[in-house]
Structure 1
Amino acid sequence: MSVHQHAPHAPRWGVLRTKPVDAILAESGHGGVDGTEGTGLKRTMGLLTLTFFSVGATLGTGIFVVLSEAVPKAGPAVMLSFVLAAVTALFSALSYAELAGTIPVSGSSYSYAYATLGEGIAWVCGWCLLLEYGVSISAVAVGWGQYVNELLDSAFGVSLPAAIANPPGENGGVVNIPAVIVVALATVLLVRGVSESAKANTIMVFIKLATLAFFCAVAFTAFDSGNLAPFAPLGWAGVSAGASQVFFSYIGFDAASTAGEEAKNPRRDLPLAILFSLLIVTIVYVVVALAALGAMPWTEFADAEATLAKIVTDVTGGSWASIILSAGAIISIASVVLTVLYGQTRILFAMSRDGLIPPIFAKVDRRTQSPVPNTLITGFFVALIAAAFPLKYLAEATSIGTLFAFAIVNIGVIVLRRTRPELPRSFKTPLFPLTPIAGVGFCCYLISQLSSKTWAVFAGWLAVGVLVYWLYGYRHSKWGDTPPKTWNSGDGGVREPQS
């Protein structure tokens, strides 16, 4: 039986099976031992493109959308919330950087978990990534609609009817049509090919940075230090609650790790792209938050939609600044939808290649060298979620899935150092093992700060995931029929499983 066949019924050890790193690299054409040419995905991304892919997936989510949700929880100390969330993300980013340089393939933390912790944990991680990526796209798409309305109101004095501009149960909404539109546009662009998508994203990221620089220039003209007092009205509990909320803003820095099979020099560029992107977005978040809080009292954030646009309108006394900011926000948030949707499709691609979800998700179009059916299916379901759910619930549900996946990556670094110390690593996490241990600790701390409702949603999501795995993934896994001793020999060989 070959390694790419599976038995009719996966045996009991399938849940614990770790997929060998050599086989993972061989599948993707990154120096595997069996001489395969990889999956057919096209290598087009250099360091700048990869960095901007992660920046595009991250920057904008928190500042343009979640700021109005987080400031009421922490007050002006929300700036510390951003820093706390950044530190949490940094520990995980260092672990991502090491694993991305060691196992540069599609699939991000799902693939890393499969190589280190076993198929069962990999499935749970992949299922959490569906929550992280798929739901975060929907959440950002909901926020995109707010800025569309702000632009229409500022420029033309009109706005979309509430019934089609908001999700059900929120401000008279029935179905969020703008959210569906932006997901559809991103889907069409990805179907055309990753090269075109990457170029479009690079342009959008430059526009995003220019838009936020414009906001800071306007907001700082009305800066009032009195708005920053009291700095932490809700104490450290407020800072922690705010960090749990704004951690949503850092989702996406790992987007470059999903592009391992489409990067020109993945071992060098993936770790650098992950760390550079986190540094860029953290600086931008803190500066923009300072400008916003200096220009408007923190108590007014709770009732503000399209917060940054409202601030520049109040500061300038006219609509021209709001028009510029809203137009920039529309483009900026669209880049988040584009890049995170890309990451979601590549994770599904990796899971499908392993047999854990249907094979259609791993089908690559010969002309575009991208997974077209996967992209269309994913885009449809993401648009459906974006149309039907409010932003608040989407953002918090996404945070807990992300933190869980990050914790798994930190554990994976420790496990892989012990089980395969001889593997070439283009980047090594400093202060090992303290750094990944701290990463796990910070993730667990922020998870504990989330609401009981969020925990309930997450528990339900995991329960569904376990059911799906048992009914399909466990029985169709391409690695479930391989006894542990065949692959854990440690000699780096890829051998046929014993009958």
Structure 2
Amino acid sequence: MDKSKNKIGLWSAVGIGVGAMVGAGIFALMGEAGAIAGKAVYISFILGGIIAAISGYSLAKLGASFPAAGGIVKYVAQAFGLNVFSGGISVLLYLSSIITLALLAKAFGSYAAVLFNLKESLIYINIFALSIMLLIGIIQYFGIKKVVKFQNVSIVITIIILVIFATVGLIYMKPELMAPALYPSSNKILFSIAITFFSYEGFRIITHTAEDIVNPEKNLMKAIFISIGITMVIYTTLAYAVFGNLEVDKVIEAKNYALAEASKPVFGNLGYTIISVTALFATASTINATLYAATKISYQMAKDGEFPSFFSKQIGNSRVGLLVSLLLTGLLIVFLDLLQIAAVGSIAMLSIHAVTHLGHLKIIHQTKASKFLVVTALLTTLTVIVLFLIYSIKDSYTILFLFVGLLVLSFLIELTARLITNRKVTKSN
């Protein structure tokens, strides 16, 4: 069998990256970021994209040198060895991915419920959330080609609608609403970066295509930079269009439906419906990319002996880890309120990025990366974490405590697995 037929090209990888970023984040986070940075939120999206690109450089260099399905799991193990520390970080990455999936599915369920005037019904939100997870799971059962086809269709529809909305929004915007005199202090813009950066975090999912992408040495970095660039243009333009048509308090009031609300002055109720439908495509696209990554993470960990071997068993054109991920996500959807846990998952992801950049410095002689850029990636990631914690704990320490709890749980799972199975981990090829 010609393995090259199962490979994906540069633009398919870009589709996975853009789909992973232009998902629920831009629909849910516009209002949250706007509540902090106000009219200057578009600047925050630009700065968040620059930080993501610097971090992407580090991950791309690692991916080109160590192409593996596990992405960050592989890089951390390569830098720190296969031990309790790397195992705990890998478990943290997997749990964070599951939390992200549950959050995205809930977001999909919420948008679907709104379209059918069922937004007050938690039961219907959960039914829609579980349904989209089942649908995406079936698609991924049939392999990477089906994942890519679904991703390409979803992201093309999403981008077309968002570009039309942004273009018309810019044409009809009121320039006086974007006057620099209305911008908040620079401190608030910096605090908001901690939120806007999360809208780009999905770029790391491209690293999981390293075993599937054609010529990863060249295409991995190209895919990361192109996808971040496309996403930055979309985010910045949308932010400018939204705040050029709505007062800040209106955006904050709309919160999770800021884009849909901003469409009303130009497109009326039909625009609200179209943007809400677009949110469904975008969220489904992000779920597709994130579930693909979670399955790859569990597969890599099984290969390395950090997860039970059955995670790597073939099922259809995917792995048993796909079923486990679907089951765990379903349990979170049904039993947990994910608002605070989502923030914890975001901090966890950023912390994993920081550990990865730190590990990169240990093996930088192998990747031939720029030490200056990798150090910059580490420092900017740490800065974003600190900014987010400062903003989140000013009212409550709950987020910090939950993050520490998730971190402890990850290492307890790793230690327990070692004690129960008395297993030995071996570095995979």
Fold agreement, TM-score > 0.5: yes
The residue number in structure 2 matching 1:129 is 93
Q: Which residue of 2 aligns with 1:52?
A: 15
Code of the aligned partner of 1:468: I
Q: What residue is the counterpart of 1:216 in the other structure?
A: 166
SS at match of 1:295: coil
Partner of 2:399: 454
Alignment partners' CA distance in 2, 1:108 and 1:52: 18
Instruction: Give the CA deviation at 1:231.
Output: 4.0
Code of the residue aligned with 1:68 in structure 2: it is G
Larger radius of gyration: 1
- Alignment of 1:361 onto 2:311: yes
The answer to whether the aligner puts 1:352 opposite 2:302 as a matched pair is yes
Choose from 143, 160, 173 the match for 2:107.
Answer: 143
Q: What is aligned with 1:400? A: 347
1:359-388: CA deviation from partner (whole Å, max 9, x where unpaired): 1211123xx4321x2111101211332344
Instruction: Summarize the Cα distance change of 1:391–1:68 in structure 2 as closer, same or farther, 3 Å threshold.
Output: farther
> Deviation at 1:333?
1.2
Q: Deviations over 1:306-328 (max 9, x none)?
A: 22112212333x32222222222
> How far apart, in 2, do the equivalents of 1:146 and 1:241 lie?
27
Unaligned 5+ runs, structure 1: 1-36, 153-157, 167-175, 481-486, 488-493, 495-499
Q: What residue identity is the alignment partner of 2:122?
A: A
Task: Tell me, in whole angstroms, the C-alpha distance in 2 between the residues paired with 1:145 and 1:314.
Answer: 26
Task: Output the aligned Cα RMSD.
Answer: 2.4
Indicate how the Cα distance of structure 1 residues 447 and 203 shifts in structure 2: closer, same or farther if over 3 A, else same: same
| CA distance in 2: counterparts of 1:278 and 1:81, whole angstroms | 14
What SS does structure 2 have at the residue aligned with 1:319?
A: helix
Matched with 2:426 is 479
Identity between Structure 1 and Structure 2 (%): 25
Asked whether the 8 Å contact 1:245–1:399 carries over to 2, the reply is: no
Aligned to 2:76: 113
Aligned partner letter, 2:193: A
- Counterpart of 2:382 (choices 436, 444, 451) is 444
- Pick from 347, 366, 372 the counterpart of residue 434 of structure 1: 372
Distance in structure 2 (CA, Å) of the matches to 1:228 and 1:222 = 13
Partner residue, 1:61:
24
Deviations 1:116-154 (A, max 9, x none): 1222332233133224422222222222223223433xx
Which residue of structure 1 lines up, in the alignment, with residue 236 of structure 2? Answer: 286
CA distance in 2, matches of 1:313, 1:122: 49
Specify the SS of the correspondent of 2:191: helix
Give CA deviations for 1:171-210 in whole Å, capped at 9, x if unaligned.
xxxxx32222222211111112221121111111111111
The more displaced of 471-480 and 93-102 is 471-480
Amino acid at match of 1:216: A
Corresponding residue of 1:370: 318
Residues 41, 369 of structure 1: 8 Å contact kept: no
Letter in structure 1 aligned against 2:318 = S
> What is the 5 A alignment of 1:182-193?
182-193=132-143
The alpha-carbon deviation at position 47 of structure 1 amounts to 0.9
CA distance in 2, matches of 1:273, 1:211: 22
Task: Give yes or no for contact 1:98–1:413 (8 Å, CA) kept in 2.
Answer: no
Q: Distance in 2 between matches of 1:219 and 1:151?
A: 22
Look up the SS of the partner of 2:253 in the other structure. Answer: coil
- The residue matched to 1:355 in structure 2 has which SS? coil
Q: Which amino acid aligns with 1:196?
A: K
1:41, 1:364 within 8 Å by CA — same for their partners in 2? no
Contact 1:62 1:248 in 2 (8 A): yes
Alpha carbons of structure 1 residues 335 and 56: separation in structure 2 relative to 1, 3 Å: same
> Which consecutive residues of structure 2, in runs of 5 or more, have no partner in the other structure?
none
- TM-score, scaled to structure 1: 0.78
Residue in structure 2 matched with residue 465 of structure 1 by the alignment:
410
| Separation of aligned partners in 1, 2:49 and 2:124 | 32
Q: Is the 8 A contact 2:264 2:271 kept in 1?
A: yes
Shift of 1:334: 0.5
- The amino acid of 2:266's aligned partner reads V
| TM-score, normalised with respect to structure 2 | 0.90
Matched residues in 2 for 1:286 and 1:41: separation? Answer: 37
Question: 1:236, 1:386 → 2: CA distance?
Answer: 37
What secondary structure does 1:334 align onto?
Answer: helix
Check 1:82–1:251 CA distance in 2 against 1; reply closer, same or farther (3 A cut): same
Distance 1:271 1:224, change over 3 A: same
Q: Distance in 2 between matches of 1:443 and 1:69?
A: 20
The residue number in structure 1 matching 2:266 is 315
Match for residue 238 of structure 1? 188
Map 1:142-181; keep pairs closer than 5 Å: 142-152=106-116, 158-165=117-124, 176-181=126-131
Aligned residues: 416
